[in-house]
């Protein structure tokens, strides 16, 4: 098991934050908690193992309502849990962390296999060749970042041992003002922003170059985060 904050080995997953010397912890379902932290629509009640805020979850010590009121402005467990999830840290057991890294490793290799080709032959690299390149380049998988957000950095690491080129698409995106600032980092994480215009009404018009295989995930995330209120147009494929 992964070591806890206090040096103890933990057998369950928690989210925590320290505020003015006081520790606040919640017991969580890790999959739902990570989705929640990434902005997906998850009912916070579904991810909490108990609707309680602990000062030490391992020992079952409940945090003081008085202290929570003073430091968070509320003693309501669900509201404090929301703050912990958004601003605090998620602590995973070693088993879960390793499983998460392996799942993301496989997803990243699949993205590269589906989109990457050998520039000499124009043919896709076999999965085993990609995995060998990962091992040779000693690729590190970040369990916190989405696979899509790690592809470009990993390509830089494996290209010295595995020449590879990606089919890309240029996509024009127009995001309404109420979502524009929030989605800038999301758009940037998927690829390279080629054009960047902020309109008079506060909306954002941009052209981004992304790997062709990320298009479906990219459009789905934009639609989810804008509730479908986004305009996209594929300009070219190369």
End residue of a domain, out of 91, 106, 130: 91
Residue 107 corresponds to which tokens in the numbers above?
Answer: 């997803």
What DSSP line would sit under 7-71, residue for residue?
SPBPSS-EEEEEETTEEEEEEB-HHHHHHHHTT----HHHHBSSS--EEETTTTEEPPHHHHHHH
Residues 6+ apart with CB under 8 A from 226: 175, 176, 179, 183
Is position 140 within any domain? yes
Residue 46 vs residue 58, higher pLDDT:
46
**pTM score of the predicted model:** 0.60
Is position 4 within any domain? no
Give pLDDT, residue 108: 95
Q: Which domain holds residue 87?
A: 14-91
What DSSP line would sit under 147-200, residue for residue?
HHHHHHHHHHHHTTTS--EE-EEEEEEEE-HHHHHHHHHHHHHHEEEEEEEE-T
Please answer whether residues 165 and 115 qualify as being in contact, where contact means their C-beta atoms are separated by less than 8 angstroms: no
Is residue 145 domain-shared with residue 211, that is, in the same domain?
Answer: no
What average pLDDT does this structure show over 76-86?
Answer: 97
Distance separating alpha carbons of residues 211 and 189, to the nearest angstrom: 11
What DSSP line would sit under 136-155, residue for residue?
HTTPPPPSSS-HHHHHHHHH
Give pLDDT, residue 76: 97
Q: Compute, in degrees rounded to 10, the torsion defined by CA atoms 20, 26, 30, 35.
A: -70
CATH code, domain with 152: 1.10.10.900
Q: Tell me the pLDDT tens digit for each residue of 89-146.
A: 998 888 888 999 999 999 999 989 888 888 888 788 899 999 999 999 999 999 888 8
Other CB atoms within a 10 A radius of the CB of residue 153 amount to 12
Give pLDDT, residue 11: 64
Residue 129 corresponds to which tokens in the numbers above?
Answer: 């060749």
CATH code, domain with 232: 3.30.70.240
End residue of a domain, out of 63, 91, 119: 91
Give pLDDT, residue 212: 76
Q: Tell me the pLDDT tens digit for each residue of 196-219.
A: 999 999 999 999 998 877 788 899
Burial class (CB in 10 A: 0-12, 13-18, 19+), 158: buried
Q: How many domains does the chain have?
A: 3
Specify the range with the lowest mean pLDDT, choosing from 1-15, 55-69, 147-161, 171-185. 1-15
């Amino acid at each position: 098991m992964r070591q806890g904050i206090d040096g103890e080995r933990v057998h369950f997953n928690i989210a925590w934050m320290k505020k003015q010397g006081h520790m606040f912890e919640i017991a969580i379902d890790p999959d739902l908690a990570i989705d929640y932290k990434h902005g997906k629509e998850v009912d916070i009640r579904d991810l909490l193992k108990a609707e309680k805020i602990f000062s030490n979850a391992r020992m079952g010590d409940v945090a003081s309502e008085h202290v929570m009121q003073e430091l968070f402005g509320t003693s309501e467990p669900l509201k404090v849990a929301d703050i912990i999830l958004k601003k605090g840290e998620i602590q995973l057991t070693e088993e879960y962390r390793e499983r998460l890294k392996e799942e993301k490793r496989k997803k990243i290799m699949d993205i590269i296999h589906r989109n990457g080709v050998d520039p000499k032959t124009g043919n896709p690299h076999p999965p085993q060749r990609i995995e060998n390149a990962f091992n040779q380049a000693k690729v590190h998988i970040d369990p916190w970042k989405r696979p899509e957000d790690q592809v470009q950095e990993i390509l830089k690491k494996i290209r010295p041992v595995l020449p590879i080129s990606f089919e890309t698409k240029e996509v024009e995106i127009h995001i309404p003002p109420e979502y524009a600032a929030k989605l800038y980092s999301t758009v940037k994480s998927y690829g390279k922003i080629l054009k960047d215009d902020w309109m008079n009404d506060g909306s954002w018009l941009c052209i981004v170059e992304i790997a062709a295989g990320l298009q479906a995930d990219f459009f789905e995330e934009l639609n989810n985060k804008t509730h479908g209120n986004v305009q996209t147009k594929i300009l070219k494929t190369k």
